[in-house]
């Protein structure tokens, strides 16, 4: 049985993971685009706090600043620009067969992904992380050596998103 301090950390981690999972479900299930974006903000904050519980303070602060701040401002700008709030007026009545097939395929996909995730997790043994885990130096070293290509691809994708939103805004004016 783990000590009470570890049990408290594990409880906090589980609660934050549950909040993140529920917020992620809210993003997908919510029919209103603005509410879906608000659920995404809650998910980003829960993930940031999860990083803090894992002693990765730099990643947690980056999660709040970059995703919850900058990216969500961009998402909300696009939602307001495209007027996605009135989408419920255009909706057709649901087709029950399509809904049942979608739920069935979703459950199959969930099972396949779960089986691929749970099998490797069962073989993991507990190890200690290095002393500089999550520090700005370690993150910078990994980001600009091992992960420089994905880092650059992500920056180009963000640039494409910004240019696309400007082009959409220009078309309406």
- The confidence score (pLDDT) of residue 90 equals 60
Same domain, 142 and 62: no
C-alpha 73/C-alpha 67 separation (Å) is 9
Residues 105 and 159 in one domain: no
Q: Are residues 51 and 68 in the same domain?
A: yes
Residues 158 and 129 in one domain: no
CATH code of the domain covering residue 129: 1.20.120.1200
Whether 48 and 117 map to the same domain: the answer is yes
Quickly state the pLDDT bin for 22 (edges 50, 70, 90). very high
Q: Are residues 58 and 138 in the same domain?
A: no
Distance, in Å, from the CA atom of 24 to the CA atom of 29, rounded to the nearest integer, reads: 9
The pTM of the full predicted model, rounded to 2 decimals, is 0.61
pLDDT of amino acid 138: 84
Based on the fold, state whether residues 106 and 168 are members of the same structural domain. Answer: no
Report the alpha-carbon distance of residue 22 to residue 42 in Å, rounded.
Answer: 9
- What's the mean pLDDT when you consider all of the chain? 84
- Co-location of 78 and 42 in the same domain: yes
Summarize pLDDT for 65-74 with one digit per residue, the tens.
888 888 888 8
Asked which of 48-62, 77-91, 118-132 is least confident by mean pLDDT, the reply is 77-91
**N-term to C-term CA, the chain:** 64
Q: What pLDDT was estimated at residue 95? A: 82
Q: What is the pLDDT of residue 96?
A: 86
Are both 81 and 159 inside the same structural domain?
no
CA 163 to chain CA centroid, Å, is: 23
What would the pLDDT profile of 89-126 be if each residue is shown by its tens digit? 566 777 888 889 989 999 999 999 888 888 888 787 77
Q: Based on the structure, what is the number of domains in the chain?
A: 2
Estimate to the nearest angstrom the gap between the alpha carbon of 96 and the chain centroid: 30
Q: Which domain holds residue 150?
A: 134-173
pLDDT score for 88 = 57
Sequence-distant (≥ 6) Cβ neighbours of residue 81 within 8 angstroms: 165, 168, 169, 172
Same-domain status, 150 and 121: no
pLDDT at 1 over 60: no
- Residue 87's pLDDT is 54
Alpha carbons 64 and 47: distance in angstroms, whole number: 9
- Quote the tokens at residue 63: 């999660």
Kindly state whether residues 129 and 169 are assigned to the same domain.
Answer: no
Rounded-to-integer distance, Cα 74 and Cα 66, Å: 11
């Amino acid at each position: 049985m783990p000590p009470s301090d570890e049990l408290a950390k594990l409880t906090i981690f589980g609660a934050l993971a549950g909040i993140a999972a529920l917020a992620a479900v809210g993003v997908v299930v919510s029919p209103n685009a603005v509410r879906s974006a608000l659920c995404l903000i809650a998910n980003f904050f829960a993930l940031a706090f999860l990083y803090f519980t894992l002693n990765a303070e730099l990643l947690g602060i980056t999660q709040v600043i970059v995703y919850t701040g900058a990216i969500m401002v961009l998402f909300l700008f696009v939602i307001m620009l495209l007027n996605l709030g009135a989408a419920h007026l255009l909706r057709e009545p649901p087709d029950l067969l399509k809904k049942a097939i979608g739920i069935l395929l979703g459950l199959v996909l969930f099972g396949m992904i779960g089986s691929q995730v749970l099998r490797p997790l069962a073989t993991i043994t507990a190890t200690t992380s290095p002393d500089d885990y999550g520090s700005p130096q370690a993150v910078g070293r990994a980001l600009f050596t091992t992960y420089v290509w994905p880092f650059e691809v992500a920056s180009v994708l963000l640039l494409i998103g910004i240019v696309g939103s400007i082009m959409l805004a220009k078309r309406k004016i």
